[in-house]
Amino acid sequence: MDELLVCKHSALASCAGALVSALEQRGHDWADVRAGSKLADPRTMAEGARVPQEHLRFLWKRSAELTRDEGFPLVAAGFLRPQTLHALGFSLLAASSLHEVCETYQRHFHVVSTAAAIDIHRTPRTYEIKSVCHPLVNVEGFELFLGFIVPLFASLTRERVTPLRVCLRRTLNSRAVIERYNTFFGVRVEFGAEENLVVFDRAVMSAPLGSGNTSVRAAMETIIGQYLTEVGSGEFRTMVRAQILSQLQSGAVSEDAVSRGLNMSTSTLARRLRGEGLNFRELLQETQKSLALQYLQDARLSISEIGFRLGFEDLSSLSRSFRRWTGLSPREWRRRHVRDGAMTALAA
């Protein structure tokens, strides 16, 4: 990653490249876009390269100046593909439900930008996704995210997924652009809102997808963790989680082993995790729970094999922990949440 740019806040260069490609389609070459600055074209950078968040702000500013199109975020979203998002994109494609797509995006949003995040809130009937961003992030960024994720949902489900509600902070002046947004999302968009928010039907988000693949997801989790460790995600827990995932492949995980993997003492590890409001045991169990829920959707994995993959010494240890997390045994959870015939069928 020789061309990797690491700064306090950074974004994936390929995402910035989507803006540049959209501008090029509108007739603006890179010389026009950079406007005499010394910025490098993000499309020419190495795979996984990053650009400072300030560069992304500059590109949004130039997009507004050159196109005078308030709907440009939706145009740029058309140039985003799952493979644009490094290993994160392939993990999204292997998700077992739209909820898992969003949960994965939320957990690893730092792949896209270290200055942004999404918050998920579920009610009995609704599934809400809210933008949580550093002031450095343009409000258009959430619109770019929605312009990518809604078509992705349609691709995974093979039918249109219409939000129940879309709220955007920007106030638009063009009636034509407002109608473009309404048509794109299939619902009347609320502009000038207090926060960027999208709401879906929870039942739709929870429905199983036939394309789910737990083996691919597990492999991508490891690659994502390694990538974030290399570039510095701005979140220490990501580095620790990557070590946990790596060590789970060879057996049980210990705080001491993870500390050694990160070249630090256990006291330093504990202190840095405390700075993010958690401890090693909590992070380990959070990771084990997330993986357990994935593995239980794979009909080819026995409960005992899942326990081994998660680093438990025996089946009873897994059962006790899983019951504490969910109130059910692994076998009961699998029977209740994975319908007959809907178990993930993995390619051999």
> pLDDT tens across 76-133, in order?
999 999 999 999 999 999 999 999 999 999 888 889 987 777 878 889 999 999 887 6
Residue 289 reports pLDDT greater than 90: no
Task: Give the CB-side neighbour count of residue 243, counting CA atoms within 13 A.
Answer: 21
| Residue 4 pLDDT class (50, 70, 90 cuts) | very low
Rounded to the nearest 10 degrees, the angle between the axes of helix 13-25 and helix 53-67 is: 10
Residue 158 reports pLDDT greater than 90: yes
3-state class (DSSP) for residue 14: helix
Instruction: List Cα–Cα distances, 201 to 128, 204, 206, 209, in angstroms.
Output: 9, 5, 9, 16
- Which is it for strands 190-191 and 197-201: parallel, antiparallel or unpaired? unpaired
Report yes or no: 214 and 298 within 8 Å, Cβ to Cβ: yes
| Residue 241 pLDDT class (50, 70, 90 cuts) | confident
| Residue 194 pLDDT class (50, 70, 90 cuts) | confident
The model's pLDDT over 200-220, given as tens digits with 9 standing for 90+, comes to 999 999 999 988 898 999 899
The pLDDT mean for the chain works out to 87
Tokens representing 244? 């946990």
Q: How far, in Å, CA of 314 to CA of 129, rounded? A: 38
The pLDDT assigned to 197 comes to 94
Residue 286 reports pLDDT greater than 90: no
| Residue 250 pLDDT class (50, 70, 90 cuts) | low
Instruction: List Cα–Cα distances, 193 to 64, 116, 142, in angstroms.
Output: 21, 19, 13
- Which is it for strands 126-133 and 10-12: parallel, antiparallel or unpaired? unpaired
The pLDDT assigned to 295 comes to 81
Length of the chain: 348
The pLDDT assigned to 345 comes to 35
| Residue 277 pLDDT class (50, 70, 90 cuts) | confident
| Residue 174 pLDDT class (50, 70, 90 cuts) | very high
Instruction: List Cα–Cα distances, 171 to 148, 162, 167, 182, 187, in angstroms.
Output: 21, 22, 11, 14, 17
Rounded to the nearest 10 degrees, the angle between the axes of helix 280-295 and helix 236-248 is: 50
Q: How far, in Å, CA of 20 to CA of 28, rounded? A: 9
pTM: 0.69
Residue 3 reports pLDDT greater than 60: no
Report yes or no: 209 and 294 within 8 Å, Cβ to Cβ: no
| Mean pLDDT, range 318-339, rounded to an integer | 88
| Residue 231 pLDDT class (50, 70, 90 cuts) | confident
Torsion sign, CA atoms 206, 183, 119, 192:
negative
Tokens representing 17? 């490249």
Residue 48, classified by CB atoms within 10 Å of its CB into exposed (0-12), middle (13-18) or buried (19+), is middle
Report yes or no: 301 and 265 within 8 Å, Cβ to Cβ: no
Report yes or no: 137 and 115 within 8 Å, Cβ to Cβ: yes
Percent residues over pLDDT 90 in the chain? 57
Among the listed residues 112, 146, 160, the one whose alpha carbon sits nearest the alpha carbon of residue 14: 112
| Mean pLDDT, range 10-18, rounded to an integer | 94
Give the residues across from 190 on adjacent strands. Answer: 167
Domain segments of the chain as ranges? 10-69, 235-337
CB contact set of 313 (below 8 Å; sequence gap of 6+): 252
For domain 235-337, the CATH class is mainly alpha
